[in-house]
Amino acid sequence: MLGSFNDVDTADENLISQRRNFLKLGLAGVVGTMLPFAGARNVLAASGNGDSWKVSFRNSHTGESFSGVYRVGDKYLPDAFERINYVLRDFRTSEVFPMDPYIIDLLSHIHRETDAGDPFHILSGYRSPKTNSMLHRKTSGVAKNSFHMYGQALDIRLPKHSTKKIRNVAKSLKTGGVGYYPRSNFVHIDTGTVRSWIS
């Protein structure tokens, strides 16, 4: 789907509301027992036989980073997610929110598929409703109910790799939304419905 900026506008708002409530009510406490998505997201569970999953990224705004193991087999590591959530916080308000473990799986998988040695640069992780509302007023490229507000989206780029290549890898996984922003040199990924757009 070309030319759509609507991260959530076509999604089931009730499901998103339930997911946000679940995340707010203690994802950090239960993350160690969560299992990866089934169905289309089985690709993200492909190496789940006790293997360690790693991810490496740097927040472009704060310079803070995370690099290391965040998942072993089917178990997510709460200590790793405490750091991940902090690094991916809303840097404008300093609000920390639990990130969806599946968006981190997606990031890790894209990293492996691109065979990149450098960490991802994260342009946007979690966005508070206040920040998202402000950005939505300034640009048509920010959805009113963005997945960023639910910890389910990342805007990324990878040094020494074209954003087109990252977009192609993300689209091939068929695990969520993929937005390609060539003029701004980044790719949006989220764990919503499978769709894609170019801006």
Please report, for residues 19, 26, 29, 142, 146, the alpha-carbon distance to residue 155 in angstroms, rounded to integers and kept in the order given: 20, 25, 26, 12, 12
Name the pairing type of β-strands 177-181 and 186-190. antiparallel
Q: What is the pLDDT of residue 43?
A: 53
Question: 């995370």: which residue's tokens?
Answer: 66
Q: Chunk the chain into consecutive blocks of 10 residues (it has 199) and report each block's average pLDDT, rounded to whole numbers.
A: 41 48 47 43 56 96 97 96 98 97 96 90 97 87 89 95 95 95 95 94
Domain count, the chain: 1
Could you tell me if residue 2 is inside a domain?
Answer: no
Could you tell me if residue 7 is inside a domain?
Answer: no
Could you tell me if residue 124 is inside a domain?
Answer: yes
CB 146 within 8 A of CB 127: yes
Q: What is the pLDDT of residue 99?
A: 98
Cα separation of 6 and 147, whole Å? 9
Cα separation of 109 and 111, whole Å? 5
Could you tell me if residue 8 is inside a domain?
Answer: no
Could you tell me if residue 83 is inside a domain?
Answer: yes
Q: What is the pLDDT of residue 198?
A: 94
Which structural domain, as residue segments, surrounds residue 109?
13-198
Q: What is the pLDDT of residue 142?
A: 84
Q: What is the pLDDT of residue 49?
A: 61
CATH number, domain containing residue 54: 3.30.1380.10
Q: What is the pTM of this model?
A: 0.79
Could you tell me if residue 119 is inside a domain?
Answer: yes
Could you tell me if residue 135 is inside a domain?
Answer: yes
Could you tell me if residue 4 is inside a domain?
Answer: no
